[in-house]
A and B are shown apart, each in its own frame.
Chain A
Amino acid sequence: MRAALAVLLVLLLGSVARAERLIVSVSNHRVTVTPNYSGEELVLFGSVEKDASTPADRKTYDLVVTVMGPRAEMVTRRKERKFGIWINTDYRQFLEVPSYLALFANRPFDVITSPEIARRQQIGLNNVLLTQRVSGDYADVVPNDAFRSAFIRLRTERGLYREDPSAVTFLTPTLFRTGIPLPAEVPIGTYEVEIKLFANGALVTKTETAFEIVKVGFEQFVATSARQHGLIYGLVTAAMALMTGWMASIVFRKD
């Protein structure tokens, strides 16, 4: 009991001792993707709240925003020339990696903070943890690993991974905003947004928020039923084929 109280006290003191507080919100906490959805941009805005304990010389801040979509397992395969044709030979399995990943900042990452902190705080696509299964072991590899960089490149080409060190804009020294582009093929699920505040290269505070992407409409209904009720879906498709064939034989009957 006493120990718990002590922990609580430390926690309370800790939060009090923090000189700045981040207040953030996204423009829409629930994005509905309709069949004719062709991409959208969500806006994240917020402000840095100072209090009495804020050092007076602290005038400018840096922000790093990380948006992570629902996690999924993915396989990256590499083709090689064998017997004169191109065949998938080697592969790496990526475990629990974000299906969508965006890293935004107001200045280049290497100007904001040191490489050491950037690595620890997973700032920049090169520093985000992407766990691979390498022959029974679970580990992330060096950033220039062929499979890792190919994975990031392919995801970036589809607009699902991105890093933009100029996407965050400070409207006033404490008020900021950034756009979160969501492409047409954005995966559905819960998206976590992490906002980290830096001053003079050191992490000052961070906060989190989230939004959800849901797909609605006929297409989504089809996709969901295909996945969840495979047998009924198959039967309906087969019946549809028979109906179409039968109707055609009636319409075009040569009598």
Chain B
Amino acid sequence: MQLYLPIADLPVNIFLVLAMGAAVGFVSGMFGIGGGFLMTPLLIFIGITPAVAVASVASHIAASSFSGALSYWRRRAIDPALASVLLCGGVTGTALGVWTFTQLRALGQLDLMIALSYVVLLTTVGSLMFSEGLRALMRTRRGAVPPRRTHNWIHGLPLKMRFKRSKIYLSVIPVVIVGIVIGFIGAIMGIGGGFILVPIMIYLLRVPTSTVIGTSMVLTLVTMLFATLLHAVTNHLVDAVLALILMVGGVTGAQFGARAGQKIRGEQLRLLLGLLILSVGVRFAIELVIRPEDLFTIRELGVSG
């Protein structure tokens, strides 16, 4: 069944988009991530312009992270204090990101920047995760104990604050900076940033695993809601019809993904996720290097009278 997407200005097959939403939802449920880094590229590959894809995926991620955040809230696995400090940075970062997005779009370099950010971020994070997963897998094979956690330079920073539920005593500076960075790249790339945020919080900020996913989901939820709003107000690029189909597919797929994820071991899961992220990054890199089919593009700047 064909459906016309009003903002993307493109007819799409409704079942194809639903299936894409479900597939990404499955993966995101399995790994406990938002899945924006998969959804945005998929939409771009089916012909939706990167700008519309980024703006519409923001609301899709908001929906899936809200259902996730709700269940973590019930299990008291969210640290409200940590979440609010992260949000201070997150909201600022999102506003900066949407502003940069608008500027790049006017310059005609938005698509390039989206692609470049994907290449850089995904190949880096993907290979880090993959190698980390490999090392962990080797360790368990050899039966070695994982290295003990030690304090790092971050714990020497001033402005310390006690986060009760996470049982950590930490400076707010790195927390706010992490929020800004995640909000910024999220708004430009159409990702929730969970797949970067969670490792940063675990390895750098030493947030315990009991509260890390729930708290990161709150950040994703608020920044993505804010990004949706800002993209709608400034660039008018949010396709609500597309977003709704993605949401319905996404939240359904996530439930089955979560069940499948419980059957796989943590190290293998990280290895798989790293591989997945890496391959999306490489796909973008190839796209940039090969000669495009058409060197020319047209953009309409609106009907003048």
Contacts and interface: CB of A to CB of B under 8 A. Distances in A.
The B contact surface, by secondary structure, is: helix
B51 to A, nearest CB: 13
Contact of B304 (A72, A88, A150, A233): A72
Given A222-B6, A234-B230, A245 B63 contact: yes
B288 interface: yes
A75 B232 contact: no
Most buried by B among A87, A222, A235, A249: A249
Contacts of A241: 59-60, 62-63, 66, 224-225, 228, 243, 247
B225 to A, nearest CB: 5
A254 B303 CA distance: 51
Contact of B241 (A74, A150, A219, A245): A219
Contacts, number: 185
Contact of A87 (B59, B60, B112, B229): B112
B244 interface: yes
Given A85-B288, A222-B241, A246 B70 contact: yes
Nearest to B226: A238
Interface in B79-125: 108-109, 111-112, 116
A76 interface: yes
A117 interface: no
B67 A248 contact: yes
A230 B233 CA distance: 4
A69 to B, nearest CB: 9
Contacts of B71: 249, 253-254
Nearest to B11: A184
Interface of A: 35-36, 70-81, 84-88, 91, 96, 99, 147, 150-151, 153-155, 184-185, 187, 189, 219-220, 222-223, 226-227, 230-231, 233-238, 240-242, 244-249, 252-254
B150 interface: no
A75 B109 CA distance: 13
B172 interface: no
A187 B24 CA distance: 34
A244 B6 contact: no
Given A77-B296, A96-B304, A252-B251, 5 more contacts: A84-B289, A87-B109, A154-B298, A238-B229, A240-B243
A75 B108 contact: yes
- Top 8 closest A-B pairs, CB basis? A234-B232, A245-B66, A248-B251, A150-B296, A223-B6, A245-B67, A241-B62, A234-B229
Interface residues of B, number: 61
Contacts of A76: 296-298
A233 B5 CA distance: 15
B292 interface: yes
A75 B205 CA distance: 46
Given A219-B6, A245-B63, A73 B304 contact: yes
Interface string B287-305: 0110110111111111111
Given A71-B305, A75-B108, A222-B6, A248 B252 contact: yes
Contacts of B178: none
Given A77-B296, A245-B63, A246-B66, A237 B240 contact: yes
A185 B11 CA distance: 9
Interface in B253-305: 254-255, 288-289, 291-292, 294-305
B232 A86 contact: no
A73 B305 contact: no
B59 A240 contact: yes
Given A79-B292, A241-B63, A233 B232 contact: yes
21 contacts: A75-B298, A77-B108, A79-B297, A88-B111, A88-B297, A151-B296, A219-B6, A226-B238, A230-B234, A233-B232, A236-B240, A238-B59, A238-B62, A240-B243, A241-B247, A244-B66, A245-B65, A248-B64, A248-B252, A252-B255, A254-B71
Contacts of B295: 78-80, 86, 150
A244 B238 contact: no
Contacts of B244: 240, 244
B206 to A, nearest CB: 29
A80 B254 CA distance: 41
B87 to A, nearest CB: 15
B17 interface: no
Contact of B238 (A79, A150, A151, A234): A234
A199 B238 CA distance: 53
Contacts of B9: 185
A74 B289 contact: no
A71 B303 contact: yes
Nearest to A35: B4
